[in-house]
């Protein structure tokens, strides 16, 4: 579906923002300079008649993004958690995108369930409600299982959502290509790779079997986390377009008045959600990557309930250690260590000056410390870091995009509960504990043990692998130097010795 026809999609995007009045609101929220305002109006006003009208009952920004489709709605969901970046008015408008979109009919949902599970709905559920939440990709119904009488949440994909999303993401690919052509400086940020990354992430949301598996894995990782719980998957009533889970009863995270009325400490809830996210990212390397208010509730006993596991993030052990050291370096204000970690990980080109990079990082970090808690913002820090990395030619790390984006979202959620939260004070004990576990003598022994396990699996194949590698080297050497035939026995003897040595080393390790 990619091609020039997607230009129409981009033109209509700008026209829709102008027609719905969202363009002015967005420019005001970002306090855009006069020149940018004038350029946006000149480019958008003549074509506004091409824009989608949307639902006039909705606020302008919500109206525009809802009319444009699911990918735009996802973008709006992220912004809704950042009133410090887009302003309280716009954030309030966008919050409607989280779980209060127009639903599709119950009959359509039931037909989807019957097609997917190949059973009549009445034989599965004794009760089946009207939609209780409608989001960009799916909607949720409250139901009761026939077999056990258990109250459950049934998630059903929107009809035609796969095609609708494909149309949006194809336009994003075109936009990324245009940016790379018109602005060579942007290529270091790899816009097309960024789009491809999010394309893959959201594709996972379009198969609810994958979401069910993610929920199960996440539940196993977090079963020991105090004050945190997940609904359980009911596999027999789940499929590609339908997922059934136990019902999570609680107060939505976005309803501060209800949380106060129930006697919950919003500051402690905000600190806990930050701590949980950092633990999941650093300790497990597997985290909920869509932790906005619409996906979190608070149970009567204060337990945080998370649901909607369509977008999960994964980072490997090495990347976790790098990320933790960078965070720890900023917390300790050790900017040289932060700079060295960037160079050691290959994040910054080796031809750059490490001392100069450390000074630039100091210029990023120092203004953060000593600020009033209400003014410390991860969003602002990331903005400063963007300027620094652009100067030093650092490429976008696609494996960290989801982690960084989620951290911004979680900080926004915490701030919506208590504006006084200082993210660095909350993060410090979590990061320090991870550093102690992952970079000390015990971590070294654990790494050696894991290496021995890998060698044990390849043990029987080691002599053959060594011989094969040596044979290739010998062939290349002969081709270049025409090695006499008698020297080949020397190579073979070396192969036997090395193969035997490797086997002996393996035996010693295991």
Angle between helices 398-417 and 423-439 (to 10 degrees): 140
Structure tokens belonging to residue 60:
């302008």
Cα distances from 12 to residues 44, 47, 160, 171, 446, in angstroms, run 10, 8, 21, 11, 55
Beta strand 304-306 with 228-229 is parallel
**290 in catalytic set:** yes
What is the rounded CA–CA span in Å between residue 379 and residue 352? 26
What is the rounded CA–CA span in Å between residue 134 and residue 137? 8
Cα distances from 26 to residues 31, 32, 79, 171, 416, in angstroms, run 8, 9, 11, 21, 20
Write down how long the chain is: 510
Radius of gyration over every alpha carbon of the chain, rounded to an integer in angstroms:
27
What is the rounded CA–CA span in Å between residue 82 and residue 412? 5
Structure tokens belonging to residue 438:
């992952």
The DSSP result for 112-132, as a single string, is HHHHHHSS-HHHHEEEEEEEE
What is the rounded CA–CA span in Å between residue 310 and residue 43? 36
Residue 245's φ and ψ, nearest 5 degrees, are -135, 160
Angle between helices 423-439 and 441-458 (to 10 degrees): 50
DSSP type of residue 53: -
What is the rounded CA–CA span in Å between residue 501 and residue 64? 68
Name the nearest CA neighbour of 428 among 510, 354, 324, 338: 324
Query: What b/e sequence results for 69-93 when a residue is b if at least 16 CB atoms lie within 10 Å of its CB, and e otherwise?
Result: bbbbbbbbbbbbbbbbbbbeebbbb
Options 99, 168, 170, 290, the catalytic residue: 290
Looking at the annotation, which residues are catalytic?
A: 290
């Amino acid at each position: 579906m990619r091609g020039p026809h997607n230009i129409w999609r981009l033109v209509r995007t700008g026209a829709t923002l102008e027609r719905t009045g969202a363009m002015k609101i967005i420019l005001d929220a970002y306090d855009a300079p006069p020149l940018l305002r004038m350029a946006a109006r000149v480019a958008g006003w003549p074509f506004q008649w091409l824009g989608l009208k949307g639902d006039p009952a909705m606020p302008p920004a919500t109206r525009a993004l809802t009319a444009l489709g699911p990918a735009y709605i996802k973008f709006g969901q992220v912004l809704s958690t950042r009133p410090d970046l887009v302003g309280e008015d716009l954030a309030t408008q966008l919050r409607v995108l989280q779980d209060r979109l127009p639903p599709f009919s119950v009959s359509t949902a039931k037909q989807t369930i019957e097609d997917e599970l190949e059973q009549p709905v009445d034989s599965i559920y004794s009760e089946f409600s009207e939609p209780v939440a409608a989001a960009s990709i799916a909607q949720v119904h409250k139901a009761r299982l026939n077999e056990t009488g258990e109250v459950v949440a049934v998630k059903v994909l929107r009809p035609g959502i796969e095609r609708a999303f494909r149309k949006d993401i194809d336009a994003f690919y075109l936009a990324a290509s245009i940016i790379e052509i018109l602005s060579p400086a942007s290529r270091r940020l790899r816009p097309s790779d960024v789009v491809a990354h999010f394309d893959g992430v959201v594709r996972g949301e379009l198969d609810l079997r994958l979401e069910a598996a993610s929920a199960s894995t996440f539940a196993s990782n977090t079963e020991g986390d105090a004050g945190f719980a997940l609904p359980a998957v009911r596999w027999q009533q789940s499929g590609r377009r339908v997922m059934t889970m136990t019902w999570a009863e609680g107060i939505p995270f976005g309803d501060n008045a209800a949380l106060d009325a129930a006697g919950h400490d919003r500051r402690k809830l905000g600190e806990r959600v930050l701590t949980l996210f950092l633990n999941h990212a650093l300790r497990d390397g597997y985290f909920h990557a869509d932790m906005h208010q619409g996906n979190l509730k608070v149970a009567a006993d204060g337990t945080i309930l998370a649901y909607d596991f369509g977008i999960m993030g994964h980072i490997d052990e090495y990347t976790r250690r790098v990320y933790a050291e960078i965070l720890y370096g900023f917390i300790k204000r050790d900017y040289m260590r932060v700079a060295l970690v960037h160079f050691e990980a290959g994040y910054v080109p080796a031809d750059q000056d490490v001392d100069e990079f450390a000074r630039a990082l100091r210029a990023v970090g120092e203004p953060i410390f000593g600020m009033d808690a209400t003014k410390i913002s991860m969003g602002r820090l990331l903005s400063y870091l963007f300027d620094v990395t652009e100067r030093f030619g650092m490429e976008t790390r696609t494996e960290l995009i989801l982690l960084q984006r989620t951290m911004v979202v979680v900080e926004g959620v915490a701030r919506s509960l208590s504006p006084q939260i200082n993210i660095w004070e909350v993060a410090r004990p979590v990061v320090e504990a991870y550093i102690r576990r992952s970079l000390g003598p015990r971590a070294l022994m654990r790494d050696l043990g894991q290496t021995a396990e890998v060698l044990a699996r390849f043990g029987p194949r080691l002599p053959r692998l060594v011989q094969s590698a040596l044979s290739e080297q010998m062939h290349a050497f002969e081709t270049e130097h025409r090695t006499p035939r008698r020297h080949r026995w020397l190579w073979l003897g070396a192969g036997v010795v090395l193969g035997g040595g490797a086997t002996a080393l393996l035996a010693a390790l295991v």
